[in-house]
Amino acid sequence: MADFTSILLVVVAALLGLARAHTVITYPGWRGNNLHTNGTLPEDNPDTIGIDLLENGTMAFPYGMQWMYPCGGMPMTTNRTKWPYGGGALSIQPGWFPGHAKAFFYVNIGIQEQGQRAPPNYSHPVVPPFQITGPNNSEYNGQFCLPQVRMPANLSLAVGDNITIQVIETAQHGAALYSCVDVELAEPADVEQVTPQNCYNSTDIGFNLVFTTEALTGGAASLLSGPSTTVAMVAAVVMFGFAFVL
Ligand SMILES: *[C@@H]1O[C@H](CO)[C@@H](O)[C@H](O)[C@H]1NC(C)=O
Ligand SMILES: *[C@@H]1O[C@H](CO)[C@@H](O)[C@H](O)[C@H]1NC(C)=O
Ligand SMILES: *[C@@H]1O[C@H](CO)[C@@H](O)[C@H](O)[C@H]1NC(C)=O
Ligand SMILES: *[C@@H]1O[C@H](CO)[C@@H](O)[C@H](O)[C@H]1NC(C)=O
Ligand SMILES: *[C@@H]1O[C@H](CO)[C@@H](O)[C@H](O)[C@H]1NC(C)=O
Ligand SMILES: *[C@@H]1O[C@H](CO)[C@@H](O)[C@H](O)[C@H]1NC(C)=O
Ligand SMILES: *[C@@H]1O[C@H](CO)[C@@H](O)[C@H](O)[C@H]1NC(C)=O
Ligand SMILES: *[C@@H]1O[C@H](CO)[C@@H](O)[C@H](O)[C@H]1NC(C)=O
């Protein structure tokens, strides 16, 4: 009975996190405010698929907009900010709402070729996945900044190209929040300057490296003997200083 109660509590906690967790790209910007949860409550809406098309032509997001792939319910924008063609800074506020004592992050880009109206996909990862730790599971202020997210060398991106940066934050129950920014690639001199005001790491946000078990050798591998061997991703409990280069 006690076990059943604790399972229920976990489920309730997960639902609360699902309803409230969000992420904000503070540099170089975002498509717009998608921190909205509206429409009929999910518990009264058994037919919902996450996005409800209403009779009057508007949409409603009973679980929240940011859960929508690929860009958190936001369409492509035309007010592009400029971003260095070789890669640049990315600053993120991860704890806008509760549920992010821990979170995995992924950053991808979508590339718009000449003549295309939007990127065909967001299948180009530009940093290795990593985990952040926040001070607690409530809302917290603060941000982290990757000062130099480099573009993969084999993509040969040029000044004037349009790309979309997609930031994904997974909540502790595994569901993913999406936020994007549409940028025009430019010479670094033409880009809003990166400063300690718009790009910094708050002291109470930590980083954990994520790697696969294949990267483990010797003694470390024995940690994974037993039932947990199926766990493929491990967050090492080391504060790391790896450069975000591919
Ligand atoms: C683009 O415009 C929208 C709507 O005004 C705004 O919310 C958003 O922050 C702008 N994005 C950038 C990158 O300037
Ligand atoms: C559309 O309908 C919904 C549900 O009745 C309502 O909440 C919303 O305000 C309406 N929007 C417009 C633009 O009429
Ligand atoms: C829900 O929020 C989105 C984003 O602000 C808005 O476009 C939509 O019209 C809202 N839906 C309703 C029913 O209010
Ligand atoms: C980039 O996007 C803008 C609109 O946001 C468009 O005017 C421009 O033509 C696009 N550039 C290229 C190279 O597709
Ligand atoms: C994604 O789009 C790129 C062009 O940006 C293309 O080369 C690549 O094949 C696409 N990948 C997938 C998995 O569709
Ligand atoms: C969570 O951490 C933030 C930042 O340290 C702090 O301001 C806030 O009071 C903490 N909330 C709780 C419930 O401990
Ligand atoms: C570019 O390099 C990345 C690894 O850095 C690789 O995963 C990707 O498949 C390559 N893409 C192309 C188009 O060669
Ligand atoms: C923030 O921490 C990450 C991970 O250690 C590091 O790569 C990045 O350079 C730091 N950002 C700043 C602005 O120092």
Q: Does residue 158 lie within any of the structural domains?
A: yes
Number of domains within the chain: 1
User: Considering the entire predicted model, what is its pTM?
Assistant: 0.84
Q: Does residue 5 lie within any of the structural domains?
A: no
Ligand 4 atom 6: residue of nearest CA: 78
- pLDDT, position 218: 59
| pLDDT tens per residue, range 182-230 | 999 999 999 999 999 999 999 999 999 888 888 777 555 444 444 333 3
Q: Does residue 3 lie within any of the structural domains?
A: no
Q: Does residue 21 lie within any of the structural domains?
A: yes
Q: Report the b/e string of 100-131 with b at 16+ CB within 10 A.
A: bbbbbbbbbbbbbeeeeeebeebebebbebbb
Q: Does residue 50 lie within any of the structural domains?
A: yes
Q: Is the pLDDT of residue 231 over 90?
A: no
Q: Does residue 221 lie within any of the structural domains?
A: no
Q: What is the CATH number of the domain that holds 71?
A: 2.60.40.10
| pLDDT tens per residue, range 92-147 | 999 887 888 999 999 999 999 989 999 999 999 999 999 999 999 998 889 999 99
Q: Does residue 7 lie within any of the structural domains?
A: no
Is the shortest distance between the CB of 120 and ligand 5 below 6 Å? Answer: yes
Structural domain range at position 68: 13-212+230-245
Look up residue 54 and give its amino acid.
L
> Best mutation site among 111, 113, 123 for ligand 5, i.e. most ligand atoms within 8 A of its Cβ?
123
Is the shortest distance between the CB of 26 and ligand 1 below 6 Å? Answer: no
Q: Does residue 110 lie within any of the structural domains?
A: yes
Is the shortest distance between the CB of 116 and ligand 5 below 6 Å? Answer: no
